[in-house]
Amino acid sequence: MRKTRFIIFFVFILFISLMFTHGNVYAQQNEIKIGVLYPLSGALATIGRDLQRAAELTADMINNKSPGVDLPMASWGGIPNLGGAKIKLIFVDHRGEPDRGADLAKRLILDDKVVGLMGAYNSAVTKTVSAVAERYGVPMINDSSTSPDLTERGFKWFWRTTPHDNFFNKDLFELLKGLTEGKVKGVKAIPKAQLKNLAYACENTEWGSGVAKSLEAYAKEYGFNITKGILYNANSPDLTSEAKALMSVNPDAMLFASYLSDSLLMIRTLKSMKAKTKILWGQNAGFEMADFAKTLGADINGVLTRTVFIDKITRVKKVAGQINALYKQKYGDDLTGATARSVVGVQTWAYVLNKAGSTDPKAIQKACNELHIPAKELVMPWAGIKFDSKGQNILGRGLIGQYQLKSDGKISLEIVYPFELATANFIYPFPGWK
């Protein structure tokens, strides 16, 4: 009898011990693995490399402390509420291929045992990757994909820190409206009749086709005409026919959604044809990358790009200047909207993990849903990060920059919208090419 009681007691103690161990296993790791999916080869290798650099810089700042950066996470030396555990980013290359992205996400979850995912830049890839995360109940924080549809699927394991394209396209039409009202710095009011006809060319994937749909809707809402709309195959070897089609309708504004290789080719093609328009605007992506300005130089004088970060923000936001300086010291470039979003993505993961105090998926889910990062703790000129019931950050905002050729022969990206943040007079009309 005594022996039986001893065995029962021993089994009970063992059970309690195992339960305790299981319940705390998530909080006893020395490192926290997060799978990061970016395009690290192929046509988008350059932006993938830059995104990886920004993510690594941020993880290093969190893991090893960064004196001189006025952010709480820069003094952590790991995740405080997880015993100083370090973030380990596991990068994989999806090459811009949705099916490959889904396969890699599955491998990261099942083989690498990551606690969550980040990425994937291309909206089409993010769509498939997030579906895998949803299926396995694994948290995914999206830092840089802007198709509005991504947060309209009712997912419970997907959160997006960046504003999406509906935010940014609305900014474009507010800028056009502001031009007609005399609100743009350095430009007198322009009669709407001189700006009314618009034409666009967007690459035909999840992202570009979504931009096109949004442009059509906002044009109607704001009383502008879309006189030509083109969807073309991404990474096209020739855009001559697309450029001719745009020019044939003599639009007041040409609007683009293009990745880097397409944006370079389109500008070169338009220049060779001496195309004329009053506004030339790009929806981020290729138009805001460092290599866009480096490659084209003076040929982009007057070109507009939407973005979420311009280095001029560093003049008015101290922490933005501090992180930008670290990035530039290490890699030679200023942060862009894309790379700054990568910084915020890793930062958000760090804050979520610290708030959760665990890597248990349910605890992370709860922390994401309750998260609030204040504006003062972001590199971005946003009001903060707070997710709505769909997983969309509702406190983000966009910027519109204009490339301007300065007297020293260098190209500078100046803020022209929001109007109160403008750092230079607006160049109007677009000067074109000789």
Q: Is 210's pLDDT higher than 60? A: yes
pLDDT for 19 = 43
Helices 240-248, 260-272: inter-axial angle, 10-degree rounding: 60
The verdict on residue 155 lying in a domain is: yes
HSE-CB at 243 with a 13 A cutoff on CA atoms is: 20
Same domain for 181 and 136? no
What mean pLDDT is predicted for residues 96-103? 97
- Predicted confidence (pLDDT) per residue in 397-415, tens digit: 889 999 999 989 899 999 9
The verdict on residue 253 lying in a domain is: yes
CB 395 within 8 A of CB 383: yes
Give the C-alpha separation, 150 to 139, whole Å.
Answer: 15
What mean pLDDT is predicted for residues 74-81? 96
Residues spanned by the domain of 71 = 29-163+318-385
CB 92 within 8 A of CB 36: yes
Same domain for 159 and 184? no
What mean pLDDT is predicted for residues 229-239? 90
- Predicted confidence (pLDDT) per residue in 132-173, tens digit: 999 999 999 999 998 999 999 999 999 999 999 888 899 999
The verdict on residue 432 lying in a domain is: no
Same domain for 158 and 118? yes
Same domain for 183 and 123? no
The verdict on residue 10 lying in a domain is: no
The verdict on residue 240 lying in a domain is: yes
pLDDT for 357 = 97
- What are 38's strand-pairing partners? 93
Question: Residue 342: phi, psi to the nearest 5?
Answer: -65, -40
Same domain for 257 and 183? yes
DSSP conformation class of 281:
E
- Predicted confidence (pLDDT) per residue in 283-299, tens digit: 888 898 888 999 999 99
User: Total structural domains in the chain?
Assistant: 2
DSSP conformation class of 376:
G
Contacts of 29 (CB under 8 A, 6+ apart): 82, 85, 359
Helix (H, G, I), strand (E, B) or coil at 48: helix
Contacts of 376 (CB under 8 A, 6+ apart): 319
Q: Residue 2 burial (CB < 10 Å; 0-12/13-18/19+)?
A: exposed
- Predicted confidence (pLDDT) per residue in 328-344, tens digit: 999 999 898 899 999 99
Which of 1-10, 185-194, 204-213, 400-409 has the weakest average pLDDT? 1-10
- Predicted confidence (pLDDT) per residue in 237-277, tens digit: 999 999 999 999 999 999 999 988 999 999 999 999 999 99
Same domain for 375 and 302? no
Q: Is 42's pLDDT higher than 70? A: yes
For 415, the token pair is 């803020």
pLDDT for 24 = 41
Can you spell out the DSSP letters for 52-114?
A: HHHHHHHHHHHHH--TT--SGGGGTSSBGGGTTBEEEEEEEE-TT-HHHHHHHHHHHHHTS--
Q: Is 224's pLDDT higher than 50? A: yes
CB 312 within 8 A of CB 414: yes
Same domain for 379 and 409? no
Same domain for 414 and 356? no
pLDDT band of residue 313 (cuts 50, 70, 90) is confident
- More confident: 385 or 68: 385
Contacts of 11 (CB under 8 A, 6+ apart): none
Taking the chain, what is the end-to-end CA distance rounded to the nearest angstrom?
A: 101
Which of 25-39, 189-203, 311-325 has the weakest average pLDDT? 25-39
Q: What is the CATH number of the domain that holds 218?
A: 3.40.50.2300
pLDDT band of residue 316 (cuts 50, 70, 90) is confident
pLDDT for 1 = 52
pLDDT for 20 = 41
Which of 62-71, 85-94, 149-158, 356-365 has the weakest average pLDDT? 62-71
pLDDT for 171 = 92
Same domain for 173 and 290? yes
- More confident: 204 or 102: 102
Same domain for 54 and 128? yes
User: Residue 199: which of 246, 132, 265 has the closest Cα?
Assistant: 246
For 139, the token pair is 């948290």
Same domain for 280 and 344? no
Same domain for 220 and 250? yes
The verdict on residue 19 lying in a domain is: no
The verdict on residue 152 lying in a domain is: yes
Q: Is 97's pLDDT higher than 90? A: yes
The verdict on residue 112 lying in a domain is: yes
pLDDT band of residue 220 (cuts 50, 70, 90) is very high
Mean pLDDT of the chain: 91
